[in-house]
């Protein structure tokens, strides 16, 4: 008989079908217990979405299996699955415990320096690992990038007492929340209209069922390049602290994404010491991420060769993490070789049934939940997509009308150091474009319209 016992310590966040708690596995051989995160999914609430849970577990299990067998370091930047099981009322997923803040908090708090090139370098490497294993994340965003305490990883006992210093670097990042992830081999899933609106690529918008009219109108499958677009949005957010495409309404935001129209002020870098030359290089990097046509958008390999992150290669040599890939107590084989098109009742046979489990709430804190979940992502009633909490971070009043007024102002006053609205589907030599130059510190800064 399988017995498991967990003390629930603190509510970390709530979702549409689940709650996530900080917990201690009291059945662990570790005398202090193993601190983990437990996602408790209510079977009644999830109902006909069991297939999505199966897919999420399958992906996490596969990644762990690949890393453990090949001694691959890439799991360091992907959330580590520790265990999963089912009770009569719940499905429970146990993962490693990360810090109480995520990348969104790190960017907006401005208490730690977040070097855009270094964080993008590590994110690119992690996304490349996912893609090389046939996995499309579909929801890359700041809230889904968790953080590890590097001091805890480098500690011999893999544990640090409360109050110990926290070390956050670009190597701390952990890509999490594979709830929308899919395998690229699952062709039917590649026309699903899913994601977070602020980060979504134009080709995903074309899968909006409201826009598909007529019996013969079918959505075109998308591919790995949608994660590239999302990475570009995240890189922009890290660099400037606000979002490139968000407007006052969902419809306006979707128009900006579809047109690849975005606001860019190279003087707005959060790290003011960034040189003019590096700002221009970053602008070029963004243009390749925000290419409307997926076939023209840069690949992972092309972005990794871009000058923007050319000086980050040494980061791999400097990093020596002691992260341990723990062996899950659950069998992976049933997931690794399961049929993705199988009926959802088979999930019941795939997840180990725990005959005796204790989820003890005696130690549950009544304190405020972790800030990572303080502003939960919610679904937009108009689109059915998730809205990111970063959507409210706009550089100015981002209505289409205000963007047009900005454009007119910049054309009427070429001496002003104004931001720009990019129309990336236009070539720079078109007559509609203009360059505005201003002198400062003996350096020339260009803004393109």
Count of structural domains within the chain: 2
Which residues are identified as catalytic? Answer: 139
Least confident of 106-110, 172-176, 263-267, 420-424: 420-424
What percent of the chain lies above the pLDDT cut of 90?
A: 31
Average of per-residue pLDDT across 177-187: 92
Closest CA to 128 of 316, 334, 311, 332: 316
pLDDT for the residue numbered 405: 62
Q: How far is CA 395 from CA 159, 236, 238, 244, in A?
A: 41, 12, 13, 8
Closest CA to 199 of 404, 415, 387, 424: 387
Q: Show the CA angle centred on residue 98, arms to residues 96 and 103, nearest 5°.
A: 135
Same domain? For 262 and 406 the reply is no
Q: How far apart are CA 220 and CA 441, in angstroms?
A: 49
DSSP state of 17: S
Q: How far apart are CA 328 and CA 162, in angstroms?
A: 26
Radius of gyration of the CA atoms of the chain, in A: 23
Together in a domain, 420 and 363: no
Domain membership of residue 444 as a residue range = 400-448
Domain identity same for 439 and 295 = no
Tokens 């009926």 -> residue: 343
Distance CA 225, CA 10 (A): 37
CATH number at residue 61: 1.10.510.10
Where does the pLDDT of residue 330 fall: very low under 50, low under 70, confident under 90, or very high at 90 and above?
A: very low
86, HSE (Cβ side, Cα atoms, 13 Å): 15
User: Is 126 in the same domain as 154?
Assistant: yes
Helix (H), strand (E) at residue 333 = helix 333-336
Give counts: helices (H), strands (E), the chain: 14, 16
Which helix (H) or strand (E) segment holds residue 200: the answer is none
Between 95 and 448, residue with greater pLDDT: 95
Task: Give the SS3 label for residue 129.
Answer: helix
- On whether both 106 and 210 belong to a single domain, the answer is yes
pTM of structure: 0.79
Q: Same structural domain for residues 404 and 380?
A: no
Q: Give the pLDDT mean for 215-228.
A: 88
Q: Give the integer Cα–Cα distance in Å for 124 and 438.
A: 34
Query: How far apart, in whole angstroms, are the C-alpha atoms of residue 419 and residue 268?
Result: 9
The answer, yes or no, to whether residue 437 has pLDDT greater than 60, is: no
In this model, does residue 233 exceed pLDDT 90?
A: yes
Residue 90, pLDDT score: 85
């Amino acid at each position: 008989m399988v017995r498991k016992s967990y003390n629930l310590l603190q509510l970390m966040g709530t979702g549409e079908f689940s709650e996530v708690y900080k917990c201690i596995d009291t059945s662990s051989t570790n005398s202090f217990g193993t601190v983990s995160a437990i996602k408790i999914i209510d079977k009644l609430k999830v109902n006909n979405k069991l297939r999505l849970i199966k897919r999420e577990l399958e992906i996490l299990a596969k990644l762990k299996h690949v890393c453990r067998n090949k001694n691959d370091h890439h799991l360091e930047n992907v959330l580590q699955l520790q265990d999963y099981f089912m009770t009569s009322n719940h499905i429970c997923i146990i993962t490693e415990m990360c810090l109480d803040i995520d990348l969104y908090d790190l960017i907006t708090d401005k208490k730690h320096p977040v070097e855009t090139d270094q964080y993008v370098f590590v994110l690119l490497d992690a996304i490349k690992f996912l893609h090389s294993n046939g996995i499309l994340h579909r929801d890359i965003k700041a809230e889904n990038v968790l953080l590890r305490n590097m001091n805890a990883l480098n500690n011999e006992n893999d544990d640090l007492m409360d109050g110990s210093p926290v070390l956050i670097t670009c190597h701390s990042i952990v890509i999490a929340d594979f709830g929308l992830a899919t395998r690229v081999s699952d062709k039917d899933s590649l026309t699903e209209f899913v994601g977070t609106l602020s980060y979504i690529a134009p080709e995903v918008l074309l899968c909006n069922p409201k826009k598909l009219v007529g019996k013969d109108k079918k959505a075109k499958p998308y591919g790995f390049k949608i994660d590239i677009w999302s990475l570009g949005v995240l890189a922009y957010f890290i660099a400037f602290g606000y979002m490139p495409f968000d407007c006052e309404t969902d419809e306006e935001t979707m128009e900006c994404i579809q047109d690849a129209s975005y606001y860019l002020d190279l003087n707005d870098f959060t790290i003011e010491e960034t040189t003019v030359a590096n700002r221009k290089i970053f602008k070029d990097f963004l243009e390749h991420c925000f290419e409307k046509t997926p076939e023209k958008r840069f690949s992972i390999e092309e972005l990794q060769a871009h000058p923007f992150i050319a000086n980050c290669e040494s980061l791999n040599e400097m990093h020596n993490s002691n992260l341990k890939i723990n062996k899950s107590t659950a069998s992976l084989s049933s997931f690794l070789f399961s049929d993705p098109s199988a009926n959802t009742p088979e999930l019941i046979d795939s997840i180990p049934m725990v005959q005796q489990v204790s989820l003890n709430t005696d130690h549950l804190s009544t304190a405020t939940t972790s800030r990572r979940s303080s502003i939960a992502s919610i679904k937009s009633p108009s689109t059915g997509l998730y809205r990111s909490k970063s959507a409210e971070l706009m550089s100015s009043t981002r209505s289409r009308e205000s963007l047009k007024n900005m454009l007119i102002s910049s054309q009427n006053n070429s001496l002003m150091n104004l931001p720009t609205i990019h129309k990336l589907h236009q070539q720079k030599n078109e007559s509609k474009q203009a360059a505005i130059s201003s002198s400062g510190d003996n350096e020339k800064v260009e803004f393109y319209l």
